[in-house]
Amino acid sequence: MQELLEQLRRQFLEEIAKIEWEESLKELLSNYLGKTGKLKEILWGLKDLSNDEKKTIGPMANTLKVFMEEEIEKKSQELEDAHFAKIEDEEAIDVSLEFPLKGRGHRHPISITTKLMEDICISLGFKIADGPQIENEDYNFDKLNIPADHPARDVWDTFWIQDDINDKQPKNNKFLLRTHTSPVQIREMLKGRLPIKIIVPGRVFRYEQEDARHTCNFYQLEGLMVGEGVTFGDLKWTLDTIMKKLLGEDTKLRFRPSIFPFTEPSAEVDVSCQICKWTGITTPQSPPSKGGEVVRWKKCSMCSGSGWVELLGSGMVHPKVLTACGIDPEKYSGFAFGIGIDRIAAQRFGVSSSRMFYQSKLKLNEQF
Ligand code: PHE
């Protein structure tokens, strides 16, 4: 019996020495120490021995069991160490290795322009306000004097939020993607703190066919000033100052009468095109020749040759809008404007189609 135990010990040591994988070690464990393992088999034989033999062989078998367990534990640790040493070796990262920097990223032209506009307006005393992009119908339309079924709603082609969500909403309070930043005017006026002098830069959405001048989402900068004695002259001065600071002191502004349900009177404002320098034409397709040939000039694509670019809508806040927000139109007046940030960016950076800003063209964006 003693001999058998000694043989088993030798056999065990031989086998364990050859093991390279944790899996094989588990197998070895069950082969020797498992329920039907080799050591168990020997221990079963104990019952046929005399009491004296049992007394000597029993502890010996137990010592062997403990020995095997310790050996397996030791081997397991060895295998684990070897495994990590291998990983360390193969996957080591050389932090001192040099590689060429591909250049750092920077702000998108629209963000650059927004920041610039914010800085200019802040210097004029405006504060920045914000509102949600998912807006309710009441703020986006009704309180801005655009009731349901009013034809003016067609001007703002709208992305409505899914029917199953909107079906649960009360009438006139359905959710939509805001079509302009003007609902933030309502949010501010409803707070009931006067005077108000805010700007709202933000993203807006229109359900539109995309072309060179239209994209289904773009950025606006809304302006609102409400207080006692605010006049159209204040509006003109403010816009003139902002535009000159933005596009250059030689920029000219043209106010055209217009209609917005939430302002009265309303004006659309054009600025002299910076792309063609107010000429309506860009570089000649062929240089003038000595022989007095007629030079063919190319119409500027930004302003369609008119020399003017439409950049914003504006006007005096409609008394109905003030009333809807609990402000007395007899006592207070205000002006509002909404500037297309994308178009300003196109003007500033000399890009002829603002849609290009949304096409992830690194070659374009990297230039600014
Ligand atoms: N919200 C208008 C638009 O998106 C612009 C505007 C703002 C007009 C404020 C007047 C006053 O077209």
Candidate from 123-137, 164-178, 229-243, 244-258 with smallest mean pLDDT: 164-178
Q: Which residues pair with 198 in a beta bridge?
A: 127, 224
Nearest residue (CA) to ligand 1, atom 10: 314
| Higher pLDDT pick, 83 / 101 | 83
Model confidence at 3: pLDDT above 90? no
Contact indicator for 226, 333 with CB cutoff of 8 Å: yes
Distance 31 CA to ligand 1 centre (A): 83
Model confidence at 213: pLDDT above 80? no
Where do we find the tokens 């927000």?
A: 325
Q: Which of 241, 243, 266 is nearest to 255 (CA)?
A: 266
Model confidence at 245: pLDDT above 70? yes
Does the CB atom of residue 261 touch ligand 1 within 6 A? no
Residue in 260, 262, 322 to alter for ligand 1 test, most ligand atoms within 8 A of Cβ: 260
The predicted pLDDT at position 99 comes to 77
Does the CB atom of residue 313 touch ligand 1 within 6 A? yes
Distance of CA 24 to the CA centre of its chain: 51
Candidate from 110-119, 227-236, 308-317, 349-358 with smallest mean pLDDT: 349-358
Q: Which residues contact 124 (CB under 8 A, 6 or more apart)?
A: 238, 241, 242
Contact indicator for 109, 344 with CB cutoff of 8 Å: no
Using one digit for the tens of pLDDT, what is the confidence trace for 310-356? Answer: 999 999 999 999 999 999 999 999 999 999 999 899 888 888 777 88
Instruction: Please provide the average confidence, as pLDDT, over all residues in the chain.
Output: 89
The predicted pLDDT at position 142 comes to 95
CA-CA-CA-CA torsion sign (320, 325, 331, 336): negative
Using one digit for the tens of pLDDT, what is the confidence trace for 137-189? Answer: 999 999 999 999 888 888 888 999 988 888 888 877 899 999 999 999 999 99
Model confidence at 304: pLDDT above 70? yes
Atom of ligand 1 nearest to the CA of 224: 9
What is the bridge-based pairing of β-strands 175-177 and 134-136? antiparallel
Distance 182 CA to ligand 1 centre (A): 6
Atom of ligand 1 nearest to the CA of 220: 4
Nearest residue (CA) to ligand 1, atom 4: 180
Longest dimension (CA), the chain: 131
Model confidence at 295: pLDDT above 90? no
| Higher pLDDT pick, 51 / 232 | 232
The predicted pLDDT at position 47 comes to 80
The predicted pLDDT at position 290 comes to 53
CA-CA distance, 247 to 271, in Å (whole number)? 9
Q: Domains (ranges, CATH) in the chain? A: 2-89 (no CATH), 111-287+296-365 (3.30.930.10)
Using one digit for the tens of pLDDT, what is the confidence trace for 89-99? Answer: 888 888 888 87
Nearest residue (CA) to ligand 1, atom 8: 313
Does the CB atom of residue 263 touch ligand 1 within 6 A? yes
- pLDDT band, very low/low/confident/very high, at 294 (cuts 50, 70, 90): low
What is the bridge-based pairing of β-strands 134-136 and 196-205? unpaired
Distance 260 CA to ligand 1 centre (A): 7
Q: Which of 147, 343, 158, 144 is nearest to 260 (CA)?
A: 144
Atom of ligand 1 nearest to the CA of 204: 4
Does the CB atom of residue 223 touch ligand 1 within 6 A? no
| Average pLDDT of span 288-309 | 73
Using one digit for the tens of pLDDT, what is the confidence trace for 47-74? Answer: 888 888 888 888 888 899 999 999 999 9
Model confidence at 104: pLDDT above 90? no
The predicted pLDDT at position 131 comes to 97
- pLDDT band, very low/low/confident/very high, at 291 (cuts 50, 70, 90): low
CA-CA distance, 234 to 69, in Å (whole number)? 91
